[in-house]
Amino acid sequence: MLVTIDSRPKRPDWLRAPAPAGANYHELKRLVERLKLHTVCESAACPNVGECWNHRTATFMILGNVCTRRCGFCAVQKGAPLAVDFDEPARVAEAVEALGLRYAVVTSVNRDDRKDGGALLFAMTIRAIRDRVPGCKVEVLVPDFQGSHEAMDIVMDAAPDVLNHNTETVPRLYRQVRLGARYERSLDMLAYAKKRGPSVPVKSGLMLGLGETPEEVLQVMRDLKAHSVDIVTLGQYLRPSPKHLPILRYVSPEEFAQFRRAGMEMGLAHVEAGPLVRSSYHADYSHASAVTAPAAC
């Protein structure tokens, strides 16, 4: 009899997130549906959707829910992009007001079909939130805009409170993990954002468990620091479906803690590291930590 051996790592007991439930969760879900908005929480199958939505926080995803790239880790739908909805920024601002948010996070799908990569909609959304909810801080998680400094100018001219762009993984794995992206281009865009807005915290993040080595992770953190990044997030990659890249290992909470200590020793203003950490997890706390951190040499 042929015996097959499952070599996939078993999901550890400590890697568990609460199931989506509760009054706040259902209220936010109804609000998103009524305003015809998308959230990365649902589109990317984020494991923290239950926790975050019950705390009345969500990451809004503009420019539709269809991405022009086919990254091997991402659950967001791929294909021909939707038409740009120029009323979307106003609806995001309405949702921010309805939720009583003081800190909003906005991201998007990749829009390589557009010359500005969607930068104009980011700027419009930042301004719409500020107009409707004065005092609300706005963090944006942007794509690489195919390396366009002009697109980054559009976003930075709208003065986001945090500019986030994820490197996602180590350079050796880019061809498998981030199709259409280049590591050096992402670093350049992060450094350029800091140059355009020296007082704006710049942020980036990685997923672990895709086959990277600890030293490769540390080198990416050093590269990020060298390119003026202030905040780094590190979390466990979780496979959205059997069609996506496999999980090669589960990184323990102790190892995440070691990465956090190493990052702080490098002079990063804030490192959020843990199995369930995602780009916008505890985003308001990360921002507050970064703006109060002493300047590093």
The answer to whether residue 61 is domain-embedded is yes
Measured distance CA(100)–CA(95) in Å, rounded: 8
What percent of the chain has a predicted confidence (pLDDT) above 70?
80
Name residue 142's beta-bridge partners. none
The answer to whether residue 8 is domain-embedded is no
**Domain tally for the chain?**
1
The answer to whether residue 15 is domain-embedded is no
Summarize pLDDT for 105-150 with one digit per residue, the tens: 999 887 889 999 999 999 999 999 999 999 999 999 999 999 999 9
Rg (CA), the chain: 18
**Which of the residue ranges 61-75, 129-143, 227-241 would you say has the lowest mean pLDDT?**
61-75
* pLDDT confidence band for 66 (50 / 70 / 90): confident
Any idea what the CATH number is for the domain that residue 179 is in? 3.20.20.70
The answer to whether residue 170 is domain-embedded is yes
What's the pTM value of the predicted model, to 2 decimals? 0.86
The answer to whether residue 156 is domain-embedded is yes
The answer to whether residue 195 is domain-embedded is yes
Domain extent, residue 249, equals 23-292
The answer to whether residue 297 is domain-embedded is no
The answer to whether residue 10 is domain-embedded is no
User: Measuring CA to CA, which residue among 165, 148, 157, 150 is closest to residue 201?
Assistant: 165
Summarize pLDDT for 163-220 with one digit per residue, the tens: 999 999 999 999 888 888 999 999 999 999 999 999 999 999 999 999 999 999 999 9
Measured distance CA(47)–CA(87) in Å, rounded: 29
